[in-house]
Structure 1
Amino acid sequence: MIKRLFDVTASFFGLLLLSPIIALLAWAVRRKLGSPVLFRQVRPGLKGVPFEMLKFRTMRDAVDSQGNPLPDAERLTSFGSFLRSSSLDELPGLWNVLKGDMSLVGPRPLLVEYLPLYSAEQARRHDVKPGITGWAQVNGRNAISWEQKFQYDNWYVDNQSFWLDLKIIALTLKKVFIREGINAAGEATMTKFTGGAKTRKLAILGAGGHSRVVADTAECCGWSEIEFFDDDWPSTQQVGIWNVTGNTADLLGRLNEFGGVIVAIGNNEIRSAKMGTLNDAGAPLISLIHPAATISRYASLGEGVVAFGGVVVNTGATVSAGTILNTGCSVDHDCYLGECVHLSPGARLAGSVRVGHLSWIGIGASVRQSINIGSKVVVGAGAAVVSDIADELTVAGVPAKVLAD
């Protein structure tokens, strides 16, 4: 009831206050792209019930010699790209919110043709009203894989609240301002969803012991098919029960076969380099969160993060891309972990700790609240860190002290 009251109030006053902008945009669309001004399309809503979604038109009418529409990249004008990147094309959707077809926050309504392609888990996104913005939109928008999008949508279904909606709206405004994640890599728009079977195939880069735990976690997260890649291939043929089928170059040549890719290499610097290579190639990098991990809805996790069983990440914490949260470690409130950090099993960070990129916190180590740990730092197993540590140092002991060499 609170959500609906908020939707009605916000959409009504939004339409009222933004009416001059909406009118100006309608005139500009009519002048630059022609008629009709509005893009109307039937989309599935709550429980899959169809409704007509409204947006401003962003593409011109253009067909080939056989009368078939040209690819999106050829029909999307610079003006249309501006409308999309600024999200101004979504303003007519406030009418859908006011009518009750949509909510301000919820999983984005996708195409009706996708309905028979969903797995039972993916279809849970229709257990709530679709939204103008959602948890997937503030965690990558169209630049993330379909698998990640469905994971974020279902996380919202399971964790929705009024306060989460306010957070998503605030993060949406930030995303719109910096125009981040508008399209999938190399695409003018989001690539089409072709079915749950393909999106359940995961590529893991790395073939050490760490990668086996990553694969086990992936199975717990519902990935039904896993394929390994490692630069020691073909000498490395097997990782536990899983086959190694190629090296990094082979993976780069087959990215379109996978719904997700993750780097499972314990060495921070190598993991960082491999993630950079995959990012540049447009790989669908994902994060894996074990079902037995506890991650606050008010924490932020970057792409490529792995959280094993027993991990706890508390409110306000930021865990940057490529970080490993190993078994049973804990990250307390308002901590910040830079890119490709590694927290070993049982490591403990108290509140407001900052850890620079590529640092490694050893097994069972503890860090006092409000400590700053620099980049490329190694904290020995069982250490107790009670004072700040500068970059590129190795510390050990209780209390932790810098090693002579």
Structure 2
Amino acid sequence: MIRFLDILFAMLGLTFGSPLLLVIYFVGFYDNGSPLFRQARVGRFKKSFTLVKFRTMKVDTASVATHLASHASITPFGRFLRRTKLDELPQLWNVLKGEMSLVGPRPCLFNQEELIAEREALGVLNARPGITGLAQVNSIDMSTPRKLAETDARMLINLTLSAYFKYILMTITGKGAGDRVPGRD
């Protein structure tokens, strides 16, 4: 049922959100010259997939976990996108392709070995990564690998249809900080 909802909401979001996606794309093009950000991430069963987001940092920013990035690398438009979570919208394409779910553990980078090991031990990597989840709405980020993996595992064990909608609604209404860059994000 959750996969069906993922597909339905991703299709609706991409269809009805396309005017907004185009506006953000063109503003992003003028903001930094490269509005889309693509990065290899750890997916279900540790398979690699290419995550797509709107770019919020300067093009030459080092590819590190968000909590290790420099606050100075965020563009003014990127700050707005992060605050409103609009930078996440292109991930609906990843959801539609089956690489992600709307709700699940946030996909990490392959160099976040401690987090990968913790998630693997708890079976978290058997699930599709998500755009949002329990950790994100409770401001738990990737700087605390064990806590994040334990929170992800707890979410997956207790993931009901009600919780699925709850996490989505909490994210849309601005609950939680998600993965923040240190500083004034």
Matching residue of 1:156: 155
Distance apart, 1:122 and its partner CA: 2.7
Matching residue of 1:245: none
Alpha-carbon distance change, 173 to 119 in structure 1, aligned in 2, over 3 angstroms: closer
Secondary structure of the 2:173 match is helix
The answer as to whether partners of 1:38 and 1:56 remain within 8 angstroms in 2 is: yes
Equivalent position amino acid for 1:112 in 2: F
The answer as to whether partners of 2:42 and 2:108 remain within 8 angstroms in 1 is: yes
Q: Which has the higher helix share?
A: 2
Instruction: State how far apart, in whole Å, the 1-side matches of 2:116 and 2:73 are.
Output: 32
Secondary structure of the 1:112 match is coil
Secondary structure of the 2:53 match is strand
Supply the RMSD in Å over aligned alpha carbons.
Answer: 2.3
Distance apart, 1:182 and its partner CA: 4.8
- 1:41 corresponds, among 32, 39, 42, to 39
Secondary structure of the 2:108 match is coil
Aligned pairs (5 A) from 1:140-289? 140-142=139-141, 145-175=144-174, 180-182=176-178, 186-187=182-183
Distance apart, 1:172 and its partner CA: 1.2
Answer yes or no: is 1:122 the counterpart of 2:119: yes
Instruction: State how far apart, in whole Å, the 2-side matches of 1:137 and 1:19 are.
Output: 25
Answer yes or no: is 1:96 the counterpart of 2:103: no
Distance apart, 1:186 and its partner CA: 4.1
Deviations 1:99-142 (A, max 9, x none): 1010010000010112x434754322212100011110111154
The answer as to whether partners of 1:11 and 1:97 remain within 8 angstroms in 2 is: yes
Aligned pairs (5 A) from 1:32-111? 32-35=31-34, 37-62=35-60, 72-111=70-109
Distance apart, 1:14 and its partner CA: 0.7
The answer as to whether partners of 1:84 and 1:182 remain within 8 angstroms in 2 is: no
Runs of 4 or more above 6 Å deviation: none
Instruction: State how far apart, in whole Å, the 2-side matches of 1:146 and 1:165 are.
Output: 23
Distance apart, 1:18 and its partner CA: 0.4
Secondary structure of the 1:40 match is strand
Alpha-carbon distance change, 94 to 184 in structure 1, aligned in 2, over 3 angstroms: closer
Q: TM-score, normalised by structure 1?
A: 0.41
Structure 2 segments unaligned to the other structure (5+ residues):
62-68
Secondary structure of the 1:104 match is strand
Alpha-carbon distance change, 84 to 141 in structure 1, aligned in 2, over 3 angstroms: farther
Equivalent position amino acid for 1:140 in 2: S
Answer yes or no: is 1:137 the counterpart of 2:136: yes
Instruction: State how far apart, in whole Å, the 2-side matches of 1:44 and 1:54 are.
Output: 13
The answer as to whether partners of 2:31 and 2:75 remain within 8 angstroms in 1 is: no
Structure 1 segments unaligned to the other structure (5+ residues):
64-70, 190-405
Equivalent position amino acid for 1:98 in 2: L
The answer as to whether partners of 2:71 and 2:183 remain within 8 angstroms in 1 is: yes
Instruction: State how far apart, in whole Å, the 1-side matches of 2:56 and 2:181 are.
Output: 19
